[in-house]
Amino acid sequence: MRKPILATLAAGLIATSAYAMNPMVGGAEMFPDKNIVDNAVNSKDHTTLVAAVKAAGLVETLQGAGPFTVFAPVNAAFDALPAGTVDTLLKPESKDQLTRILTCHVVPAAAMAADVGKMIADGSGMAKIKTVGGCELTAKLNGDKVNIVDENGNAATVTIADVKQSNGVIHVIDKVLLPKS
């Protein structure tokens, strides 16, 4: 059973990446010799995420040595939150809450699609992933797509996988992951 799961995962993740070797994200080329923040600031699809990282004071951390895996929600994912949520989170008095949310998107390791696939296969179809924010995410297959499920049961789909960075990897997702309420 392991080979079909891995093959399906690999095919789905690779198919979602327009350029498996050097994918474009948000209309910008991503360079594997640049760090997570330096690449993210060039993506027009991640302006809200970049603003949130700045507001939370996490720029230096995500420019650090890592390695990190970041499940990076696109702007539309933040737009789908209830009205006013993003504006409230970006306020200085919400820094702790914002930091908790953002660090639930960061894993303290470089987990490429093949690594996630192996974890899912080894876990009989799902893998538990601990984040630096203390959240436990669940990775699983949904057809030929990989879903990352937060502690509230909300599922984000990986839309672009294996965006290599000098200090880790980014997997673009379509939903904001939230810590347990």
Tell how strand 136-142 and strand 126-130 pair up: antiparallel
Residue 34 has a pLDDT of 84
Is the pLDDT score of 21 beyond 70? no
% of the chain surpassing 70 pLDDT:
86
Q: What is the pLDDT confidence band of residue 147, given thresholds at 50, 70 and 90?
A: very high
Work out the average pLDDT over 19-28. Answer: 61
Question: What's the mean pLDDT when you consider all of the chain?
Answer: 84
Tell how strand 106-107 and strand 126-130 pair up: unpaired
pLDDT tens-place string over residues 25-72 = 766 677 788 888 888 888 888 889 999 999 999 998 888 888 999 999
In sequence order, which ranges of the chain are alpha helices (DSSP H)?
A: 2-16, 36-40, 47-55, 59-62, 75-79, 85-89, 95-103, 113-122
Is the pLDDT score of 17 beyond 50? no
> What is residue 138's three-state secondary structure?
strand
Q: What is the pLDDT confidence band of residue 99, given thresholds at 50, 70 and 90?
A: very high
Dig out the tokens for 145 from the structure: 């797509």
Dig out the tokens for 115 from the structure: 């690594």
Measuring CA to CA, which residue among 47, 39, 43 is closest to residue 26? 43
Architecture category of domain 2-173 in CATH:
Roll (2.30)
pTM: 0.84
Residues 126 and 135: their CA atoms lie apart, in Å, by 16
Is the pLDDT score of 19 beyond 60? no
Residue 55 has a pLDDT of 92
Measuring CA to CA, which residue among 174, 179, 165 is closest to residue 46? 174
Residue 22 has a pLDDT of 59
pLDDT tens-place string over residues 107-146 = 999 998 888 888 998 998 999 999 999 999 999 988 888 9
User: Who wins on pLDDT, 159 or 6?
Assistant: 159
Residues 83 and 80: their CA atoms lie apart, in Å, by 8
Tell how strand 28-29 and strand 68-73 pair up: unpaired
Is the pLDDT score of 87 beyond 80? yes
